[in-house]
């Protein structure tokens, strides 16, 4: 552990990008490999098409610019063969169809910051008791009960079956307040079956089976943004359109939370990935974004693997959620990280002008949440259950009341998103960075799992909400470092009791390549808690050193130099697992440090952008490799329970 030691003024200069004449011509192999900026500003998959002699193939690409104020680039796209150009209101991005060679030439322009393929995107019973959400809802009077009321959660997924009973409020009004389709199929229901289940985990009510399958924030409003088609597949452009819509309409529907239980290959560094950059824009204006880590934590032989975090889970400002397994019990002493949950570090990369890759190597996920064999709402006639009937949980045979099993980080993510809705109802002034802090600080470290598997630990809804209620509501951009963070003089006892078992909080946070702990994290204001910042701002890395800039952090915050295996007590007390210098200095390879697994390749799934495994779709799949559970089923008698 090292205390920060020196003041380093961090400054940056933003350079203006000027337009240059764009002429389409087939580059030679030498030009492809030597042109300035070719490697740096062009994604690997497009470059490979050109290098393989497929430059005349038409591709759908994402073109990013620092600004689109100059219309010359738009004109160039139109006059040089670009078709079906899609524009966005809030992001300096165009989606366009053109040849791979033309796309490669775009990357050579000074006014283009990055060109990438429009990749495909896939969807990645005792829940409220084991997370502690029941304790929060039952802690006050009916007038003040925390249930997500007034908070909007945007679910970017395969649609929502709004006719399902799980989405009614107590006056029988549907809580899905807005729906829009971005797939072109002209429907906002859920023929695939993923989005309905995800939405109900975040905000399903307790009408069915006497409240047994209650979501985390059962009275929150839901915004249904459909980006996955009837087969559960989407594109980068569709996701960008949904995020663009959120940026324009967040104030109308009080959208404070976005759930993204989907993923795509994390090929491009988060600095260049268009969805990561759009997520950052939303976080900077106060919308907290949750992203699934992915479900590639083991190979076909069941061996543990590292480095398979999906995009946008590789974005530092997103809260990336992995899946834990509760084994069907409310108490948390037997909980562990699900074997399939994707492990860090992030292996997305940028390429310099010499063609050398530089990997992001961020510690992800940020935390884990229950995600194994969860029972929630089943959209009628959906493809998942049609293909695998055993996914139906047998709770009800009545239309609009059926429930189904699903497993994966896609299921864990809305559990955390619902918790954020409760936190924001308790304290609407919370910034995304404060929410991320409180979720990690109050998390329960799971014994025997390292930070690349669980981040700070397992979600603790009770602790996170209780801390939220103690945070000052008058924090602002003028609040100085070290100012009191809480409305009370003494910090709360860092422990939570669920099902008569008490566990200690992590009392720490993950910071890109390291972690920090210390009482000041929760008692004093740090400069990276506001909008437009990352929690990791102010972390200084050098040769074999990590320190904290005192202009960002107060003296009671300390940082570590090892990735740890938790002993189940506190983030900073675990046994060393991996030296952070292997992350910071981009030396991560198959290593003796990784005694229980290896980094496999780049963490990039090969193919034309299609990925698999964003959820464990079959009930049987969740029963293999140490993930079995024995949860019992509570049948539905058809009578609505209104006491949730």
Q: What is the set of active-site residues?
A: 157, 194, 410
**Structure token digits, residue 335:** 């909980």
**Structure token digits, residue 199:** 């939405």
Which of 9, 130, 102 minimizes the C-alpha distance to 500? 130
Do residues 126 and 170 touch, judged by C-beta distance below 8 A? Answer: no
Q: Which residues contact 518 (CB under 8 A, 6 or more apart)?
A: 556, 557, 558
Q: How far is CA 286 from the centre of its chain?
A: 16
CA–CA distance, 356 with 367 (Å, rounded to integer): 31
Which of 196, 223, 199, 203 minimizes the C-alpha distance to 146? 203
Torsion of CA 437, 259, 597, 616, to 10 degrees: 150
Q: How far is CA 320 from the centre of its chain?
A: 4
CA–CA distance, 443 with 570 (Å, rounded to integer): 10
Q: Which residues contact 75 (CB under 8 A, 6 or more apart)?
A: none
Q: Which residues contact 477 (CB under 8 A, 6 or more apart)?
A: 530, 531
What's the per-residue H, E or C state across 301-351? Answer: CCCEEECCCCECCCCCCCEEEEEEECCCCCCCCCCEECCCCCCCCCCCEEE
Task: Measure Cα distances from 606 to 341, 375, 435, 586 in Å.
Answer: 19, 32, 35, 22
Do residues 364 and 344 touch, judged by C-beta distance below 8 A? Answer: yes
CA–CA distance, 73 with 79 (Å, rounded to integer): 10
């Amino acid at each position: 552990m090292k205390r920060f030691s020196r003041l380093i003024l961090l400054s940056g200069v933003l350079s203006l990008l000027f337009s240059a004449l764009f002429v389409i011509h087939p580059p030679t192999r030498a030009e492809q490999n030597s042109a300035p900026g070719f490697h740096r500003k062009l994604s690997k998959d497009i470059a490979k098409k050109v290098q393989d002699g497929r430059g005349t193939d038409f591709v759908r690409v994402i073109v990013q610019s620092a600004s689109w104020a100059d219309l010359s680039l738009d004109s160039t796209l139109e006059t040089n063969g670009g078709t079906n150009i899609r524009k966005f209101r809030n992001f300096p991005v165009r989606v366009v169809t053109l040849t791979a060679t033309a796309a490669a030439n775009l990357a050579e322009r000074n006014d283009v910051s990055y060109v990438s393929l429009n990749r495909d995107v896939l969807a990645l019973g005792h829940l409220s008791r084991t997370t502690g959400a029941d304790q929060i809802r039952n802690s006050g009077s009916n007038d003040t009960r925390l249930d997500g009321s007034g908070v909007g959660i945007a679910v970017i997924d395969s649609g929502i079956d709004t006719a399902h009973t799980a989405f009614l409020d107590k006056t029988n009004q549907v809580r899905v307040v807005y729906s829009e389709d971005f797939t072109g199929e002209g429907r906002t229901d859920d023929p695939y079956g993923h989005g309905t289940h995800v939405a109900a985990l975040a905000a399903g009510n307790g009408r069915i089976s006497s409240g047994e399958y209650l979501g985390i924030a059962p009275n929150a409003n839901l915004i249904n943004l459909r980006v996955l088609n009837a087969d559960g597949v989407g594109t980068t452009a569709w996701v960008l359109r949904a995020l663009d819509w959120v940026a324009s309409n967040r104030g109308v529907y009080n959208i404070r939370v976005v759930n993204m239980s989907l993923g795509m290959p994390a090929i491009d560094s988060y600095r260049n990935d268009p969805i990561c950059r759009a997520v950052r824009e939303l976080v900077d204006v106060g919308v907290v974004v949750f992203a699934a880590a992915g479900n590639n934590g083991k190979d076909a032989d069941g061996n543990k693997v590292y480095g398979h975090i999906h995009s946008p889970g590789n974005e530092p400002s997103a809260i990336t959620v992995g899946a834990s397994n509760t084994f069907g019990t409310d108490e948390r002493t037997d909980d562990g990280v699900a074997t399939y949950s994707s492990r860090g570090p992030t292996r997305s990369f940028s390429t310099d002008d010499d063609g050398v890759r530089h990997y992001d190597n961020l510690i992800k996920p940020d935390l884990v949440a229950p995600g194994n064999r969860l029972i929630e709402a089943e959209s009628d006639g959906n493809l998942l259950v049609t293909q695998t009937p055993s996914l139906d949980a047998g709770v009800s045979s009545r239309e609009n009341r059926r429930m189904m099993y699903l497993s994966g980080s896609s299921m864990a993510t809305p559990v955390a998103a619902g918790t954020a809705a409760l936190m924001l109802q308790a304290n609407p002034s919370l910034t995304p960075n404060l929410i991320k802090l409180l979720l990690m600080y109050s998390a329960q470290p799971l014994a025997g799992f390292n930070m690349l598997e669980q981040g700070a630990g397992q979600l603790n809804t009770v602790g996170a909400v209780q801390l939220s209620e103690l945070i000052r509501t008058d924090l602002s951009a003028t609040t100085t470092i070290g100012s009191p963070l809480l409305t009370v003089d003494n910090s709360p006892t860092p422990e939570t009791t669920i099902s008569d078992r008490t566990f200690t909080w992590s009392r720490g946070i993950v910071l890109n390549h390291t972690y920090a702990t210390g009482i000041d994290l929760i008692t004093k204001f740090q400069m990276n808690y506001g909008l437009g910042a990352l929690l990791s701002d102010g972390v200084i890395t050098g040769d074999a050193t990590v320190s904290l800039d005192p202009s960002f952090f107060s003296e009671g915050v300390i940082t570590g130099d090892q990735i740890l295996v938790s002993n189940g007590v506190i983030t900073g007390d675990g046994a060393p697992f991996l030296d952070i210098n292997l992350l910071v200095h981009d030396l991560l390879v198959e290593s003796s440090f990784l005694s229980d697994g290896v980094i496999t390749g780049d963490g990039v799934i090969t193919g034309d952008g299609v990925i698999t495994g964003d959820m464990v779709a079959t009930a049987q799949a969740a029963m293999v490799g140490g993930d079995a559970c024995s949860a019992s089923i509570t049948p539905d008698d058809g009578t609505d329970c209104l006491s949730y």
